[in-house]
Amino acid sequence: MIPAPYPWRCIRLPPCPEPLRPPSPALWDSLCIIRYRQKKVLFLTVLSLSFTANAAELLPAVVVATLVAYIAAKDGQ
């Protein structure tokens, strides 16, 4: 309670909100695994394309393959 200008009156403050808790370890691990798999799929796709394409052909192929790999990884969740 906080003293008010008059000693016989006090201001009552509302309780503090409960702090946000981090996700459970199992949920956190599953989120990390999903992110790792998506990054791995995208990296391997770009890596395989870089060996088979010239620099001028690489950009459109990487964009398409990245979108396909991302959608496939997203659907696999």
Query: Would you say 73 and 37 are in contact if contact means Cβ atoms under 8 Å apart?
Result: yes
Q: Which residue has better confidence, 19 or 59? A: 59
Looking at the whole model, is its pTM more than 0.85?
no
pLDDT digits (tens, 9 = 90+) for 8-56: 555 566 666 666 666 566 665 665 566 667 777 777 776 666 666 566 6
Ordered by start, the domain boundaries in the chain are 24-77
Full DSSP string of 26-61: HHHHHHHHHHHHHHHHHHHHHHHHHHHS-HHHHHHH
